[in-house]
Amino acid sequence: MDDEDRLHEIDERVRAALALDPATARRIAARALTETATREARRPSVLFAAAAALVIALGVAVWLARRPPHSPPPLATLSISSSGSMLVVDGGDGRRWVVGPPAEPRQPGRYVIVISR
């Protein structure tokens, strides 16, 4: 299938539809050149903003590099001992847990009265 002639015909039609008259082409070129000049006038402010951002980023990097590294918290040391059915766990920070059989329930009616002299 040879449709190369058809492709050239479509290309010619598209180019004809998009063809501009000389006055319009001059107006578009003038606007493009003035926008380029405006962009170039804004370029120093953009460069200044980029330089300021770079200085701030470097300052933060230096500040973070000079901070002392975070050390992990010390591991808790536990000492476990048992005596019969009772288990005693001593923590490195001084806490103690006693695990054993439940205490016998107290019988009601037993009171102690303390009188100070």
pLDDT, one tens digit for every residue, the chain (117 residues)? 566 666 778 888 888 888 888 888 888 888 877 776 666 666 677 788 889 999 999 999 998 888 887 777 777 788 888 878 888 888 888 888 888 887 787 777 777 788 887
117/115 Cα distance (integer angstroms): 6
Domain residue ranges of the chain, discontinuous segments joined by +: 4-66, 75-102
Evaluate whether 90 touches 78 at the Cβ level (below 8 Å): yes
**How many CB atoms are located within 10 Å of the residue 72 CB?**
5
The reply to whether the predicted model has a pTM over 0.85 is no
